[in-house]
Structure 1
Amino acid sequence: MSSLLPESNPTNSDSYGYEDSDDDRESESGYRPTIVIMGQKRSGKTSIRKVVFQKMSPNETLFVESTARVTDEPVTGSFINLKTIEFPGQVDPFEAS
């Protein structure tokens, strides 16, 4: 009786129509998708980042300190490895220096 599944062949490099996974590409090149967080002072940028990516309770974000400098943090523990870059409200990244 023939099987509906393709025969497995250890020497066959056929990937059944799928390309290399994103995980392989990330580990080889060091590339991570990046989310840039910008906004006005005290608008909740850090709070949103902590609630979404670090599972902090929204009530706890009332005590989060202001961000004084540009922060660059990896986000791990997700099915996609990301990087966040957060600009403080005082910094205008488009201003010529």
Structure 2
Amino acid sequence: MERSQTITPNKWWNGFNSHIPKTSHYFLWISSYFSGHFDSQIIETSNLTGVLGGALEVRQLLIGADLNNRGLLNPNDLPKYMKNKQIIFSEL
């Protein structure tokens, strides 16, 4: 992952403990609804940063939180969902 002040002037990486490996960072877009060509923008963000990530609608965020609270979603499995696409935990 390139931590470049040119790409991200806010230097977000300074807010993390130095013991967290650089390979343990992901990006996540959260919105009430995604439309249009956001999938290509996710790929572009990944290409620019060298980091995998995803998009999560608020409804899916709440579903994921509920699954976690019920012991059906292990938070340690979240990196498996970072595939540069929209994350869907479950349909209601």
What is the TM-score of this pair, normalised by structure 1? Answer: 0.29
If the length of structure 2 is used for normalisation, what is the TM-score? 0.29
Give the structure with higher Rg (CA): 1
